[in-house]
Each structure stands twice: as C-alpha cells, then as structure tokens.
Amino acid sequence: PRRMTAGNERSPLLIGEVGGVPADRTPLRYALRFAAAAAVFAVVATVGVVAVHPGSSLRRSSALGQDVDGAFPTGGGNGGLASIASETNTMEANSAAVASHIDAQGTRQELDTNVHARTTADDELEAATAETVKAKSILKQKDLELLRAQADVDMYRAAAFEGGPSDMDENAALTQTAALSADKRTYLITRNTYAASTLLVATNKALLQRAKAASATAMQAFTQRKAAADANRAEAEQMAMAMTRHNKETKAAAAVGEESTADGVSRSITMAQISENATRQELLGIDIQTAAAVLKQKWADCLLEQKTAQETLDAEEVRNAGLAATSNKMQKEFIDSSHVAAIDATAAADAKKKAAADLADASKQYAAALVAREAARKEVERLADVQEIRSQELAAQSAKTDSVKAKSDVMDAMEEEAGIATKVEETKDVNNRNAVVNAIAADLEEKEDAAAAAKAAADKATVTAQVNAITQAAMDQPVPRVVTDILQNTAVTEAPASTAAEVSLPDAPAAEPVDAPVEASA
C-alpha cells in the first residue's frame, strides 16, 4: 500500500492534495515535494530494515524521557510499524502545512498588490474628478467670455449698420440729393452684376477646359479600346476558322473509327479545347466591343458637354462686355453725384471705416472666444470619459481585490487547518511512540525474565549432572575386602545402611539473572 495509518485519522497527502499556489511559487513547491519524498523514502527504508531483521534494535527517543544509552529489540511487532507510519503522517502533515503557508503567503502578497492597485485606482479617479471639475470651471469662464464677445459684436454691428453714427453720417451724405442716392443704387447693382458676370466667365472657362480634357480622355480611351476590339475580332475570326478547319480535318482523318478509345477520347478533347478557346475569344471580343461602344457613347456625351460649355461661355462673354460698359458709365455718373456731398461723404466714410474696424476686431475676439469655448467643451468631454474609465477601473479593481481577499481568507483558513492537522499528527506521533516504547520495554522485561529462568535451570541441571557423575563413579569403585568381611559378619538391622548414592546434597544456589540481551546484527 502507498501508506500506513496507525489510527482512523487521515492527514492530507502532500502530492495532489495541497491547495494551489501562485505561479511564482512553483519552484519552491517542487523543492518541498522533493524534500518530503526523500523523507518518506527514508522512513520506508527503515520500515524495510525492521521487517527483514526483526531482531534489529532501535534507539529510544530522548523526547519520551527514556534512557538513550542502550538499545532494545523491536521484535518486528506492529507497534514499530505504527510509529513509523505515524511519523510519515506527521511529515506529510508538516509538508502540507508548509505548502499551505506558502499558498497563504503568496495570496497575501497578491492581496497586498491588489490593495495597492485599488488605492492607485482610487487616487487616479480622484485626480480625474478634480481635473473634470477644473475643466468645467474653465468651460463656464469661456462661456462668459463668449457672451461678452457676442455683446461687443452686436454693439459694433448696430453702430455700423443699424442707425449708428457712421450710418447716420452716410445717410446724411446720401440724402443731399435724390439723384445721388439713385445713382449710387444703380451703380452698385450694375457693378455687382458685372462682377458676378466676370466671375461666371471665369467659371465657364474652367468648365470648358475640363470638358475639353474629358473629351480628349474619352476619345483616347475609345480609340484604344476600339483598336483592342478590332485586334481581338481579327484573332477571334482566325480562331473560328481554325476551329472549323480542324473540325473538318479531324473528322476526315482515316484513323477516325479505327483508332483506340484512348486516341479517340484524346482527339475529342483536343477538338473541345480548340472550340472552347475559340468561343472564349469570341465572347471576349463581344465584351470588348461592348466596352468600346460604351466609351464611344461617353465620348459623345463629353463632346456635347464641351459644346454646351463653349456656347455658355460665348453668351456670357457677350453679356459681360455689355455689363462692363454699363458699369463704367454708372460709376462715372456716381462720381459726379458724389462730388456734391464730398464733405459729408468723407466724414461718413471715416466713421464707417472706424466702425468696420471695431466690428472686425470684435468679430475676431468672438471667433477666438468661440474656438476657446469649443476646446474647453471637448476637454470637459474627454476628462468626463477619463473619469468614467477610472471609475470602471476602480470598480473592477475593487471586485478583484474583494475576490483576492476572499481567496486569502480561504488560504488562511486552510493554513490554520493544516496547522491543526500537524498538531494532531504530532500528538498521534508522540502517543504511538510511547505505545511502541512501552510495548518494547514490556517485551524486553519478559525476555530478560525468561533468560534468567533459563540460566537458573541450566545451572541446576549442570550441578545435578556433576553430583550424579561423582556418585556413579563412587559406586563403580570395588569394595575393600575388610569391609566385605565386616558386612558379612554384622547382623542385619531394620535400618538400612546409607550408601553413597543416598548422600544428601545441598540444593544448588539460585542462578543469578543474566542481564545480557541478545542483539541480532542487521
């Protein structure tokens, strides 16, 4: 069997029953397993020696308060095996306790790491929250700046266009005469129309250039595709004629009907391949012809667009020339009318220029405030996203930390249980060793008494044999004649004479107990 137990209690084995340890603890776990295995092998070897040599002596354990100067025979009884099995269980329990301690220690380190990570995540969330609050404060400030810039723009726009000082001066200058106002209006309309026509001429010229380029490109594409179609058509016609010729020739061959089936199949396959290639080339030619027709239609469309663009440009150039003459005439008339209100117009122009400059500056400030406000808003959104991510990270790390905390509690409980199991096995080990020592001591005393009795019996038998030998020797000696004569002349009495054989001998002294235990060498 793999293990022996001295009682009903079972200690957890080291291999396969110790709780999992972190990956960075694997080498230490392997070293612990090897050490425990070596200890178990040593104990099993000791058990083997005792089983093979029942007379082997084992040293008394000094931890039990026994004399350690001598040795006593084990007798090969079950008590020694139970003690050894108990010690094996104790070593296994110790190994399991060490492994549980390593697991618990690794889990504690993992818990410390996760607690630190949760603290870091909490700090990062607080920092992100603080940055978000700060960004929102900046956004409110940018909103106020944007409102002030909008108010300045409205104020300067009102001053420049909606009844402000510059507008009033300009109206005063323009109302000097009704002709001046009419001439100005006519000039402005004519000049704007002429400017729009000039811009339209430039646009039409660009459209015409693009239409010409598109027509040239379409023509080139059509020409290339048409050339390819013509070449492909010629090749397709040649392949078709070759197919027809080969069909006639191969059917007219003398071997047709007489050749082997393999040659017949090969001839048919060759004809099929030629037909397939010719048909494929014909279909390809059809596709190329279709593509060429499409490109030709596209070329025609481009030519039509080019013609339309040319006609539109010609008409607009004629119109633009008329507008140029009209604009020139209207401007001269407006100059003449403006001369009347030169002083008022100069003052109004200066006021308008100043108002326009103020409005331009206010508009720039408003645009800058709008950009800054948008940047602040995006920063608030970004920091809000960061805050949400930090919050999720904190929640995930908290959940992980709680999981590791529960795992650490389990590992601590397992470590405590392993310690209790070790104490139980140590107590069982002490009890088993005491029982073994008591059994061996009783066996030793019994053997010592038996040895003493055997020695006394042997000594007594030796003395008795010596006395019997002396008596027999005396009886074997010849009786002197004088004694014989005396005996013959002496009357016989009731009391028989004592003979040497009837000499009473004192009892042999009691044999000293022999305190010499017989030890069997291993």
DSSP 62: G
User: What are the residues whose beta carbons fall under 8 Å from the beta carbon of 93, sequence distance 6 or more?
Assistant: 11, 12, 418, 421, 422, 424, 425, 426
pLDDT at 371 > cutoff 60: yes
pLDDT(298) > 70:
yes
Helix, strand, coil share of the chain (percent; to 5): 80, 0, 15
* pLDDT-based confidence at residue 389 (cuts at 50, 70, 90): very high
Q: Looking at the 3D structure of the chain, how many domains does it have?
A: 1
Query: Does residue 357 have a pLDDT over 70?
Result: yes
- Residue 512 placed within a domain: no
pLDDT of residue 172: 60
Q: What pLDDT does 168 receive?
A: 58
Q: pLDDT grade, residue 43 (50/70/90)?
A: very low
Which positions ≥6 away from 186 have C-beta within 8 Å? 330, 333, 334
* Residue 236: CA count within 13 A, CB half-sphere: 17
**More confidently predicted of 488 and 520:** 488
| Angle, in degrees to the nearest 10, between helices 342-476 and 78-161 | 180
Instruction: Choose between 489 and 467: higher pLDDT.
Output: 467
- Residue 287 counted as domain residue: yes
507 inside domain: no
pLDDT at 70: 39
Categorize the per-residue pLDDT at 176 as very low, low, confident or very high, splitting at 50, 70 and 90: low
Decide which of 213 and 86 is more confident: 213
| Least confident interval from 114-128, 196-210, 464-478 | 464-478
CB atoms within 10 A of CB 116: 12
| Residue 194 is assigned to a structural domain of this protein | yes
Nearest one of 496, 383, 510, 517 to 459, comparing CA atoms: 510
Highest mean pLDDT among 197-206, 258-267, 339-348: 197-206
Find where tokens 């079972």 sit: 10
- DSSP category for residue 502: G
CB 474 within 8 A of CB 498: no
What's the 3-state SS for 186-247? HHHHHHHHHHHHHHHHHHHHHHHHHHHHHHHHHHHHHHHHHHHHHHHHHHHHHHHHHHHHHH
CA distance 169 to 348: 4
Kindly state the tokens that stand for 132. Answer: 């978000």
Reading the block at residue 48, the tokens are 């083997």
C-alpha pair distances (Å), 255 with each of 162, 247, 266, 463: 108, 14, 13, 137
Residue 401 lies in a domain: no
Please give the pLDDT value at position 55.
Answer: 42
Mean pLDDT of 455-461: 84
Domain that holds residue 286: 177-340
Once rounded to an integer, what is the mean pLDDT over residues 121-149? Answer: 88
67-76, 107-116, 120-129, 230-239: range with highest mean pLDDT: 120-129
For the chain, the average pLDDT equals: 71
CA proximity to 505, closest of 476, 467, 449: 467
Only one residue has tokens 């354990």, namely 61
Q: What percent of the chain has pLDDT over 70?
A: 66
In a domain, 80, yes or no: no
Window from 170-174, 329-333, 414-418, 454-458 with minimum mean pLDDT: 170-174
Q: What is the pLDDT of residues 476-502, one digit of tens each?
A: 766 666 656 665 665 444 444 444 444
Q: Is 170 part of a structural domain of the chain?
A: no
pLDDT band at 133 (very low <50, low <70, confident <90, very high): very high
Residue written as tokens 């069982």?
428
pLDDT score recorded for residue 215: 86
Residue 302 domain-assigned (yes or no): yes
User: Tokens standing for 106?
Assistant: 């690794």
Contact 225, 295 (CB under 8 A): yes
Residue 59 β-bridge partners: 71
Residue 311, domain CATH: 1.10.287
Write down how long the chain is.
Answer: 522
Is residue 174 a contact partner of residue 184, using CB atoms and an 8 Å limit?
A: yes
Q: Mean pLDDT over residues 214-238, rounded?
A: 80
For residue 73, the cross-strand partners are 57
Which of 138-147, 163-172, 435-444 is most confident?
138-147
Q: What is the rounded CA–CA span in Å between residue 437 and residue 443?
A: 10
CB 186 within 8 A of CB 329: no
* 333 pLDDT above the threshold of 70: yes
CB 133 within 8 A of CB 387: no
| % of the chain surpassing 90 pLDDT | 2
What pTM does this model have?
0.31
